[in-house]
Every structure is written in structure tokens, then in C-alpha cells.
Amino acid sequence: MRRLVDLHTHSTFSDGQYAPADIVRLADRRGLAAVALTDHDTLAGLPDARRAAEGLPDVRFVPGIEVSAKLPHGMLHIIGLGIDERAPSIVELARRLRQARNDRNPRMVERLRRLGVPVGMEDIRAVAGSAGDEEDRIVGRPHMAEAIRRKGYAETVQDAFDRYVGRGGAAYLDKEKIDPGETISAIRDAAGVAVLAHPPQLAVGDDDLEPVLRRLIEQGLNGIEAYHSEHSPRQTRLYLELANRYRLFVAGGSDFHGPVKPDAALGKPPVPLVMVEPLLSAVGV
Ligand code: AMP
Ligand code: ZN
Ligand code: FE
Ligand code: FE
């Protein structure tokens, strides 16, 4: 009996290094009972992942997406799990998210040029790879940072973030973000569970989390990511308690991106299947 799952992974369709089918195969080799693909802002990797899972009867596949939503301070990521990726609400959400990137990226490239860092969209697209069609892949700041490094304008990706593309960096521009309520509705209208991802990254502190959580629950949030590669055991316990108190589905995963993020190996931390089984049942996986 397989006992562990990973419900948070990124593929080459966003900023991960493994193709969707390879993530599913790796999950099977690691002996996981279920794996979700939750690329940033795109649904385009899901068909490949599902096809790979069809040949692997021991691993259940959970279609997902991770969305950056609007929050006055800090960052708010909402994961949709068990979504029907053909549902109009989620297709439209993905379209708006792609549009927001298409609006921002060339403007950041222009800022870089003015700063004497001539890194073009074609350099950035080269980093983003060749998965699917061009309009399927999402292109973001991690790709920009790597392109800047490759051209020799930064020592490391982190250096490129600190100086240029990170919040506060000289070329940074925010992209239009979508309201948490709209994000949650789009996920739930697509038959998915809307999960608050990695609560520590909200940057509100564990003590101030509850008011934020309550507001999101009013807007339809119905899950919380209790397990994550960056959570301490104490944080995981707190989020499990909150899940219990507010009747939220429990979710969890590594936030796997491949070797670029060595601390987030697939299947780490171990997420018990029994804890996420209510969520999987609710979405029919
Ligand atoms: P984007 O969605 O294109 O704005 O890119 C956001 C992604 O960039 C995040 O999910 C992080 O993986 C990465 N990121 C953002 N800020 C930093 C930073 N200061 N240092 C390293 N990575 C960062
Ligand atoms: Zn990512
Ligand atoms: Fe995230
Ligand atoms: Fe993620």
C-alpha cells in the first residue's frame, strides 16, 4: 500500500526543470500514491501529465494550478487542486494570468536595457525552454534572472534577483494580480478545491495568519497547505490545527522545481495520503 503523496510540483511549462510526464514517472518511481502538477499560471502541462499517469496504475494524478493573487502586503499563492482544466472559469483565469505576464515582461526588458543590461525577450524565452507551444509556457522572473546570469550581468540567479528583477530591484515591475476572491471562485467553479499555499510566505507571521485566513474562507477558500518543504514541524502542526478548526481540506507537497531547488525534492516532506484523502475524494481522484 502506497502511503505518501506530493500535491505541489512545477514543470517545464512554468519554472520547473522536468517535463510533466517525467514528474509523474518520478513520482511513481518514488512510490507515491498521488501526485499533482501545479504549474504557475498555466494549465498547459496537464494533458501530458495525465497521459503519463494513465500508464501507471499505482499513482493517482491530480490536475492543479498555482496562482499568484493580490494581497496588499506579502505574497498570496492559491493552489487549485482537482480542477477540470476545460472549465471556462479556469481557462479564462489562465488567460488573464498570461495576459498580465505579456504586459509586464517586455516592460521589464525595456527597463533592463536602460540599465545597460541588454537581455531580450528571445534570451528569456530560450531559458524558459520549448515545452508545448510558445503561448502555453509561462515566462517569469526566474527565467529573466537566469538569462541575465547567462549573459554575464550577474554572478548568480540570486544576484540577478537582488539587483534587477526581485521586488526592490532596479528593473522590477509588478504584474497585474487577480483578486483572491475571483481566483478562488474560478477554481471552485472548475470543480476544484482552493488551497492556501505555503502560509509562511504570506509574510504576516503565524500570529496574524488567522484574520487573513478567515477573510479568505469568507471568499470560498476551502483548503490549506499544511505540509511544504519550507514548513517547520511546528508550522505544519499549526496549519493542521487551523484546518481542523475551520473545516478546511488538508493539502501538502514539496513545491518541486527540479535540481534548481535542491531542498524541495519530490516527495519531501512526506505527506501522508490519509491526511489528504478527504480532498482527493472531494475532487474524485
Ligand atoms: P513572477 O511570477 O514571474 O513574478 O516570478 C515569481 C517567482 O520568482 C517566485 O515564484 C519565486 O520563485 C521567484 N522569486 C521572486 N522573488 C525572488 C527573490 N527575491 N529571490 C529569488 N527568487 C525569487
Ligand atoms: Zn515556481
Ligand atoms: Fe508558491
Ligand atoms: Fe509552487
Q: What is the pLDDT of residues 117-165, one digit of tens each?
A: 999 999 999 999 988 888 888 999 999 999 999 999 999 999 999 999 9
Output the ligand 1 site: residues, CB below 6 A: 68, 140-142, 158, 161, 166
Among the bound ligands, the one closest to the CA of 257 = 2
Portions of the chain given CATH number 1.10.150.650: 106-165
Portions of the chain given CATH number 3.20.20.140: 4-94+177-282
Among the bound ligands, the one closest to the CA of 15 = 2
Question: For 4-94+177-282, which CATH superfamily applies?
Answer: Metal-dependent hydrolases (3.20.20.140)
Question: Domain spanning 106-165: which CATH class is it, in words?
Answer: mainly alpha
DSSP characters for 73-108?
SS-EEEEEES--TTSHHHHHHHHHHHHHHHHHHHHH
Confidence of residue 206 (pLDDT cuts 50, 70, 90): confident
Confidence of residue 204 (pLDDT cuts 50, 70, 90): confident
CA of 281 to the centre of ligand 1 (A): 33
pLDDT of residue 134: 85
Q: Give, using CA atoms, the residue closest to atom 3 of ligand 1.
A: 140
Mean predicted lDDT score pLDDT of the chain: 96
CA of 198 to the centre of ligand 3 (A): 7
Q: Is the pLDDT of residue 207 over 90?
A: no
pLDDT in tens, 219-265: 999 999 999 999 999 999 999 999 999 999 999 999 999 998 999 99
Q: E strands along 21-171, which residues?
A: 34-37, 60-69, 76-81
pLDDT in tens, 71-106: 877 789 999 999 999 999 999 999 999 999 999 999
Q: Is the pLDDT of residue 6 over 80?
A: yes
Judged by DSSP in three states, 63 sits in: strand
Tell me 261's DSSP state.
S
